[in-house]
Amino acid sequence: MNKTPREILFERHRSAEPRLDAVRRTALREALARQPRTREAANATAKFSLADLLGRLWTELFWSCRRSWAGLAVAWLAIVTVNYFTLEPPLLARTAATDATPAILSFLLEQKRLVAELTEAPPPPEPATVPYVPRPRSERRSVKLAAA
């Protein structure tokens, strides 16, 4: 009958089992003796303060990965800097710089006429209007809309 190496080892060390059991019992007895026996004692040792919790959070989440957080901070600073220097001027500044549209001009002329009519002053002379003549397509300007 062939015995496996495992069986041979078990037979050889079978005499050590009672001593190992005694060591286990002693270790278990000492561990149980160190444990608190009442709930109040257990709660007293298990109390955590908010400062301890925040300190642990800082250590575990931020301090252990400080290089990663520093890299993310540098990336965000670069994004904010690029965004700041590539901003377009505000919409109001752009509209003030452009010419008034014909609709706005006609509205202003109508307002002046109404003011003159209410104050009984002579109305301003009519501006000379140039009739609209369509231009050839090759002369038309292309209109580009900018997304805001």
pLDDT digits (tens, 9 = 90+) for 89-104: 666 655 555 666 788 8
What number of other Cβ atoms are within 10 A of residue 112's Cβ?
Answer: 13
**Per-range mean pLDDT, top range of 13-17, 128-132, 136-140:** 13-17
Residues in Cβ contact with 122 at an 8 Å cutoff, skipping those fewer than 6 apart: 116
pLDDT digits (tens, 9 = 90+) for 52-100: 888 888 888 878 888 888 999 999 999 999 988 888 766 665 555 566 6
pLDDT on residue 148: 47
pLDDT on residue 99: 62
Averaged pLDDT, 33-44: 68
Compare 126 and 144 and report the one with higher pLDDT. Answer: 126
Where do the H-state alpha helices sit in the chain?
5-12, 17-34, 39-46, 50-57, 66-85, 91-97, 102-118
Domain boundaries, the chain: 1-47, 49-87, 89-123
Is the pLDDT at 37 greater than 60? The verdict is yes
